[in-house]
Amino acid sequence: MQLHTFHIPVMGLGYTIDTPLNVARFGISSVVSIIEDDLVEQMRAVHAQRQGEVYVPIPKADVDHRARRITAYLNLLHRTVQRQVASLRAAAFDTGSEIDRYFELLPASSPARGLFDRMRWSPAGHERSALQRALRDHVAAGAIDVNIMTKCDRINYDGAGAALPAEYADAHAALRGFAQSDLSSSVVFSAGLNPRLYTYCESFPDFFPDAEGRLRKKITLKVSDYRSAAVQGRVLAKKGLWVSEFRIESGLNCGGHAFPTDGVLLGPILEEFRNERAALAAQLLGVCNRALGAKGYPTFPDAPGTKLTVQGGVGTAAEHAFLMERYGVDGVGWGSPFLLVPEATNVDDATLRELTAATPDDYVLSDASPLGVPFNNFRRSSSEAQRNRRIREGRPGSPCYKGFLAFNTEFTPAPICTASRQYQHAKLKQLRTHTTPDEALSDETETVTAKDCLCEGLGAAVLLKHGLRPANGLSAVTICPGPNLAYFSRVSSLREMVDHIYGRGNVLNDRPRPHMFVNELTLYVDYLKRQQAKGRDVRTFAANLLDGIAYCESLDLPGTAEPLAAIAREVADLPASIVG
């Protein structure tokens, strides 16, 4: 049962790792990162103690410790939320009570909210009691979904240094941890196709329909365009695996890792999904049912439904409503603004202060990720200060204790991380031995030393917030908001942020804010110029941008005509070799 029209996407390793404990009882869905099992285990210890449960550590010596830790933590979240919901459902309706808060947070369009308003104005008596009983039946927890970044599938080794089977690789073990948990929710696969991981889904019956056609475990694909959705959806359908949601994310106007398209903008992408949605569902249903029949599973009499959601850069109730109405999406992801909601997410006090004082220039698209993927970063973070200090001291790079992003074998037989001190020292030494001109050497040096340790940095804030000592004494915080956060500066309550989403309040700062489509265009034009400066062929990119501008102009959205015209002139003024 979906009562809210927004969800809180995964943010970093720790920013939403226990968000379900804060919001699920109010019917709000959120996404937990489960790839970092040490952090998962630390949070299990914290919340088991707070819930009065016995905590039994799962040691690294256990060959399957990663999956077992994840299963144990997800089961703890599930039990706790179930208890919270039972308590809320049994609470008395009264001003300030949890059950009143549950219904007050709902959008005005929700039938349950209308029923609640009717109950509040009803006099005491039989009708009021009947309405309250009906309302209690409407109470449902938000989903506890999990995120697995498909690229984070490092092979692991036993104590003797022998490679373990593929099922013990990071993403595989995380998937197994989710699949064996008590949750009935979705795994969100992000960062693209991983055929081996998708095949591994077939090992778990919960991903296949039961006799009634229900899926206990669902698959959500985070995608940047329609083609990716169709290709990945078909790969899974051929295995009898149904995609229950396509989660479309803006290529650049988002937080964390960015996956820019070749200049194709979010508006035209959503338009294609709207036009092709029914045809895609029908196509995938036929492929999926043939595979299910061959495997001996029940087939779907009708397409079980595939939700379409969108996220990245949305910042106003008007934009939220526009996405819902124009493109028929089933929900909208609100990520970065929730970093300013301590009730919902985990940001330490020092970083929170920096976020409230930030300017647009503090949000940058960087080369910080060892994955080699553009990464939205925050200049004022303590990890950026630490990275720059290490460079000044002649000790660039980070000690590498966790190695989740260790994939480079340029200098070593065993993979190491490009953010590690070991790699950066070797790479810089190599660069200095070449007769590279000074300017080029400076650029290459900056590219090498831009890489930062995300394994430690993206999990540090939740430990600091919960009063824990980060492992190995590494407490510098990496935080990766989308550029949209520049328009939010106030620490807000959960109520205030939800009211903002539904148009019942406003938590934006006074900075003039263009429409999300205009902001996205500006980001893509800047990206185009950077790619062109690197000598890349950007003619297709520029052509797609011009098509995107024409599309946005055709929408005639309030306040967009003048900025769109200015951007069109800016692109048209690029050299003829680009736009000709």
pLDDT on residue 580? 61
For position 240, what pLDDT does the model report?
98
Integer Cα distance of 432 and 397 in angstroms? 17
**pLDDT, tens only, 15-59:** 999 999 999 999 999 999 999 999 999 999 999 999 999 999 999
Please tell me the distance from the alpha carbon of residue 406 to that of residue 376, in angstroms, as a whole number: 20
CA angle 379, 385, 391 (to 5 degrees): 115
What separation in angstroms does the CA of 135 have from each of 21, 90, 173, 519, 579? 22, 11, 40, 41, 58
pLDDT at 159: 84
pLDDT of residue 37: 97
Residue ranges of domains in the chain? 1-144, 348-499, 514-579
Burial (Cβ within 10 Å: 0-12, 13-18, ≥19) of residue 375: buried
DSSP β-bridge partners for residue 89: none
Residue-level pLDDT at 474 = 77
Q: What is the pLDDT of residue 3?
A: 87
Q: How far apart are CA 178 and CA 353, in angstroms?
A: 35
Under 8 Å between Cβ of 495 and 244: no
DSSP state of 416: B
Residue type present at position 243: V
CA 396 to the chain's CA centroid: 29
CA distances from 5 to 105, 110, 504 (A): 11, 9, 15
- CA distances to 187, 205, 207, 421, 545 from 295, rounded to whole Å, are 22, 11, 13, 49, 45
Read off the amino acid at residue 567.
I
Residue 416 makes CB contacts below 8 A (sequence gap 6+) with 400, 403, 406, 408, 409, 422, 423
Residue pair 542/571 in contact (Cβ under 8 Å)? The answer is yes
What burial class does residue 2 get, using C-beta atoms within 10 Å of its C-beta: 0-12 exposed, 13-18 middle, 19+ buried?
Answer: middle
- Compute the distance between CA of residue 506 and CA of residue 517 in angstroms, rounded to an integer: 20
Handedness of CA 228, 372, 339, 143 (dihedral sign): positive
C-alpha distances (whole Å) from 78 to each of 21, 83, 142, 184 are 9, 9, 11, 9
What 313-317 contacts at long range (C-beta under 8 Å, 24+ apart), as own/partner pairs, is 313/250, 313/253, 313/254, 313/266, 313/482, 313/483, 313/484, 313/516, 313/519, 313/520, 314/484, 314/516, 315/484, 315/487, 315/488, 315/508, 315/513, 315/516, 316/508, 316/513, 317/500, 317/501, 317/502, 317/503
Paired with 8 in beta bridges are 30
pLDDT of residue 42: 96
Tell me, what DSSP letter sits at residue 40?
H
The overall longest dimension of the chain from CA atoms, in Å, is 88
Q: H-helix or E-strand containing 572?
A: helix 561-572
- Model pLDDT for residues 191-234, shown as the tens digit of each residue: 889 999 999 999 999 999 999 999 999 999 999 999 999 999 99
Q: Give the model's pLDDT for residue 435.
A: 60
User: How many residues does the structure list for the chain?
Assistant: 580
* Residue 329 structure tokens: 């999406």
* 426 C-beta neighbours (distance < 10 Å), count: 18
115's tokens: 């029923």
Which residues of the chain register pLDDT less than 70? 1-2, 435-436, 438-439, 576-577, 579-580
Q: Which pair of structure tokens corresponds to residue 524?
A: 């893509």
Identify which of 223, 265, 316, 252 has the alpha carbon closest to the alpha carbon of residue 555. 265
